[in-house]
Amino acid sequence: MKTAKTRQGNSAPAALALDPDIRPGQSVELLKELHILTREGKLNQDSRRKLKQVYHLYQFIEKLLLELE
């Protein structure tokens, strides 16, 4: 399994495949910087709701983003 380095140098699962809310190919480091994942790479209930809001927002702006490419 691929791992991603945390700031402390520890390894965390790169795709968090066991968590259905994390999509394949998502950047674990970006999710940590957005404070969606904890430093340990875990997703708590508040963060799960925050991530779902981000997905919902993306659905609204996806077409516009694709037009910009």
The HSE-up count of residue 19 (CA atoms within 13 Å, CB side) is 19
Q: Is residue 64 pLDDT above 90, yes or no? A: yes
Looking at per-residue pLDDT, the higher value among 5 and 58 belongs to 58
pLDDT of residue 11: 46
Is 0.85 topped by the overall pTM?
no
What is the rounded end-to-end Cα distance, in angstroms, of the chain? 32
Among the listed residues 34, 39, 14, the one whose alpha carbon sits nearest the alpha carbon of residue 25: 14
Range of the domain at 31: 3-68
CB neighbour burial string for 13-24, b if at least 16 within 10 angstroms, e if fewer: ebbbeeeeebee
How many CA atoms are closer than 13 Å to the CA of 43, on its beta-carbon side? 20
> Is 80 exceeded by the pLDDT of residue 46?
yes
Count of domains for the chain:
1
